[in-house]
């Protein structure tokens, strides 16, 4: 039995609630502290999840000796600053996706984790889902041959609100960082780093990317097409075509458990991976296992890969001439 | 009851057999003549379908007074020449898809049809299928709102054979003209003419396009992604995402009858359009109706649209630096 890890959460928003719930399902995890710039919010969160310590600033949490790992759940624009502060204080960090708004920030974070010899990972929780493990197995076994083409869509028709995080350029809103990241991470998992990028972009009135279709090309001639939108509902399905067959991930593939494997047009079989109701538990367990093993990063969602994905997104935004106001 | 039309077929290959079978299911259609450069082939075909006249050259068929409409089923590279000869002889022409290998040839054909005041149409038979009529209805009624995104794939893993029509640049082989045309015609039907094109291309050893992924952008911000391949099997499905819902066309969408309409994530319903076992009958009936009505083109597959699709394909090949040897 591994040791019990005490978590600190900064940014007790919607996703932090889901995270806190996940912690409650994990034996060797407990919540030690929560911090918000709004004291009432910190207090309410602490009370709801019976968290011993709560603060109206992040520093106190970072310097709390009882905290082993910090979960950064603030808005994207703060991920880098918050994580670096926590890493400098010697805390391990699990940072919500996207790990940062650009590759330059990701590099800072990696450097900080390395110089402080602590663990850092992007909270790409979907990668740790049982379905994704099974899909990787199917690919590894060569069942569908070599992956050649990937299509993934993830679009949510959010109600337009210039004030909301998702439409606000100052908070690094937009489809790409918020939900597109899932598509990019899937393409990265299956096909690696692209060598060429084309795209179509539609900006919102507030100046963030509302909808984009991205065509990624890889050195071996493989192609990925990714559709992400915050102004349109899409089926939220993914398709991987290999040289011998295909894998379909059913709606919503990002949190899903159902997938269909077709080999040579003939045998088609649909599987359902047994999945915990809170899909966050898998990434949390992975973090624990890595730290138990003395690792400072997780092979399944390595820092190199997080950086590579950030670089692809940077290249894409450069094509669009799109910079966040604070960049 | 309309008059009976007598058809002449030039190029009695695989597709001509399917066409001849379709004619046998249509009351007011009959086969009058068949022509091949190979006399034995013409004779065998004539015998199989009880066709009165057969020739070892096309001219005799074009000048046969008994022939009302010529079906051009030769290889792509001959479509323009064969059609123009038939049109000049005063025959109506249904020309296999693609109507020609480039826009310049399409223009010649249109000009010839107009100056001879006869009917001309590209045999884009899929457009006339009952499923496609129903899909157009769903879109017209606004059930899925305004179409915003289209994805269509059509890939067949043909055995590589440098001699076969499909891999031969001299016969205008390649994925684009042979099966990609279906995807482009669907995108054209739903979204019109694109204003911008990006793509990924993989050529075969023989120098034709083996596989391409094409991203088409439209003036209203809509996007279509088309995947066509002659070296890889794909699911052969199509997806139309609208502002209120989606339509999925099931495998193989090009000849299919099954489609699913989803509105606002909630109501999902799968339909099966009643379809004749030979899907060619619908386009043949459409040709008859147009000619009955004295029309020289068919609104549902107009000459303007055929030209527009050819222009898009020309633009794409220009991006690839790909010309057929005879161009």
Segment A134-186, tens digit of pLDDT: 999 999 999 999 999 999 999 999 999 999 999 999 999 999 999 999 999 99
Q: What is the mean pLDDT of residues B19-33?
A: 97
Q: What is the mean pLDDT of residues A28-56?
A: 98
Output the CA angle A222-A226-A230, nearest 5 degrees: 175
Segment B58-111, tens digit of pLDDT: 999 999 999 999 999 999 999 999 999 999 999 999 999 999 999 999 999 999
Output the CA angle A48-A50-A53, nearest 5 degrees: 110
Q: Tell me the pLDDT band of B3, cut-offs 50, 70 and 90.
A: confident
Strand partners, A7: A31, A69
Identify the three-state secondary structure at position B118: coil
Chain A contact for B197, CB < 8 A? Answer: no
Q: What is the mean pLDDT of residues A194-218?
A: 98
**A-contacting residues in B 103-162 (Cβ below 8 Å):** 148-149, 151, 153, 155
8 Å CB contact between B202 and B251: no
**Residue A277 clears pLDDT 70, i.e. is over it:** yes
The overall average pLDDT reported for chain B is: 97
**Residue B114 clears pLDDT 90, i.e. is over it:** yes
Which residues of chain A lie closer than 8 angstroms to B264, CB-CB?
Answer: 233
Q: Would the CB atoms of A215 and B225 count as touching at under 8 Å? A: yes
Q: What percent of chain B has pLDDT over 70?
A: 99
Residue-level pLDDT at A71? 98
Domains, chain A, in order of start with CATH, read 5-123 (3.40.50.720), 130-274 (3.30.360.10)
Chain B contact for A211, CB < 8 A? Answer: yes
* Interface A:B, Cβ pairs < 8 A: 82
The C-alpha of A178 sits at a distance from chain B's nearest C-alpha, in angstroms, of: 20
Residue-level pLDDT at A2? 67
* DSSP label at residue B256: -
Segment A303-324, tens digit of pLDDT: 999 999 999 999 999 999 999 9
For residue A69, the surrounding DSSP H or E stretch is strand A69-72
Segment A239-266, tens digit of pLDDT: 999 999 999 999 999 999 999 999 987 7
Q: What is the mean pLDDT of residues B236-248?
A: 97
Q: What is the mean pLDDT of residues B115-134?
A: 98
8 Å CB contact between B57 and B34: no
User: What tokens does B229 get?
Assistant: 């391949």
Out of B202, B234, B264, closest to residue A241 by CB: B234
Complex ipTM > 0.85: yes
Q: What is the mean pLDDT of residues A57-63?
A: 98
Helices (H), A192-320: 281-292, 303-320
The C-alpha of B233 sits at a distance from chain A's nearest C-alpha, in angstroms, of: 7
Residue found by looking up tokens 């005490």 in the block: A6
Q: Spell out the residues 6+ positions from residue B70 whose beta carbon is closer than 8 angstroms to its own.
A: B7, B8, B9, B10, B61, B62, B82, B83, B86, B91, B92, B93, B94
Residue-level pLDDT at B264? 80
Segment B249-308, tens digit of pLDDT: 999 999 999 999 999 877 899 999 999 999 999 999 999 999 999 999 999 999 999 999
Q: What percent of chain A has pLDDT over 70?
A: 99
Q: Would the CB atoms of A223 and B243 count as touching at under 8 Å? A: no
Q: What percent of chain A has pLDDT over 90?
A: 98
User: B205, B235, B247: best mutation site toward chain A, by most A Cβ within 10 Å?
Assistant: B235
**Residue A267 clears pLDDT 90, i.e. is over it:** no
**Residue A1 clears pLDDT 60, i.e. is over it:** no
Helices (H), B93-162: 103-116, 130-140
How big, in percent rounded to 5, are the helix, strand and coil portions of chain A? Answer: 35, 25, 35
Q: Would the CB atoms of B213 and A225 count as touching at under 8 Å? A: yes
Rounded to whole angstroms, what are the CA distances from A75 to A80, A109, A326, B31?
Answer: 10, 16, 13, 71
d(CA A52, CA A252): 36
d(CA B69, CA B50): 18
Q: Would the CB atoms of A225 and B217 count as touching at under 8 Å? A: no
Q: Would the CB atoms of A235 and B262 count as touching at under 8 Å? A: yes
8 Å CB contact between B290 and B119: yes
d(CA B220, CA B250): 27
d(CA B145, CA A306): 37
Strand partners, A242: A147
**CA B307, B311, B316, B321 torsion-angle sign:** positive
User: What tokens does B7 get?
Assistant: 């058809």
* pTM greater than 0.90: yes
Out of B148, B151, B200, closest to residue A151 by CB: B151
Residue-level pLDDT at B266? 73
What is the gyration radius of the CA atoms in chain B, in angstroms?
20
Out of A221, A225, A235, closest to residue B225 by CB: A225
Q: What is the mean pLDDT of residues A124-142?
A: 98
Which residues of chain B lie closer than 8 angstroms to A151, CB-CB?
Answer: 151, 225
Out of B233, B239, B264, closest to residue A235 by CB: B239
Output the CA angle B162-B167-B168, nearest 5 degrees: 80
Helices (H), B125-269: 130-140, 175, 181-191
């Amino acid at each position: 039995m591994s040791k019990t890890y005490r978590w600190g959460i900064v940014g007790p928003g919607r996703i932090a609630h889901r995270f806190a719930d996940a912690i409650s399902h994990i034996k060797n995890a407990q919540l030690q502290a929560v911090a918000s710039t709004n004291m009432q919010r910190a207090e309410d969160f602490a009370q709801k999840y019976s968290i011993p310590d709560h603060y109206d600033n992040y520093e106190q949490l970072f310097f709390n000796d009882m905290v082993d790992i910090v979960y950064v759940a603030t808005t994207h624009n703060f991920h880098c600053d918050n994580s670096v502060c926590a890493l400098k204080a010697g805390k391990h960090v699990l940072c919500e996706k996207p790990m940062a708004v650009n590759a330059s920030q990701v590099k800072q974070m990696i450097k900080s984790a390395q110089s402080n010899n602590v663990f850092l990972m992007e909270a790409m929780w979907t990668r740790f889902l049982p379905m994704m493990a099974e899909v990787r197995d199917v690919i590894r076994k060569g069942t569908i041959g070599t992956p050649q083409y990937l299509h993934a869509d993830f679009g949510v028709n959010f109600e337009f609100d210039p004030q909301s995080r998702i439409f606000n350029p100052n908070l690094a809103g937009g489809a790409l960082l918020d939900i597109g990241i899932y598509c990019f991470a899937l393409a990265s998992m299956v096909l690696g780093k692209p060598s060429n990028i084309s795209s179509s972009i539609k900006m919102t009135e507030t100046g963030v990317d509302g909808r984009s279709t991205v065509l990624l090309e890889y050195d071996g001639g493989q192609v990925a097409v990714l559709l992400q939108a915050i102004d349109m509902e899409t089926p939220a399905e993914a398709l991987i075509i290999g040289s011998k067959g295909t894998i379909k991930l059913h709606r919503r593939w990002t949190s899903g458990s159902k997938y269909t494997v077709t080999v040579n047009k003939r045998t088609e079989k649909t599987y359902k991976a047994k999945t915990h109701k809170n899909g966050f538990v898998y990434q949390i367990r992975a973090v624990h296992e890595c730290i138990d093993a003395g690792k400072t990063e997780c092979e399944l969602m390595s820092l190199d890969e997080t950086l590579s994905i950030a670089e692809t997104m940077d290249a894409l935004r450069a094509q669009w001439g799109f910079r966040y106001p604070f960049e």
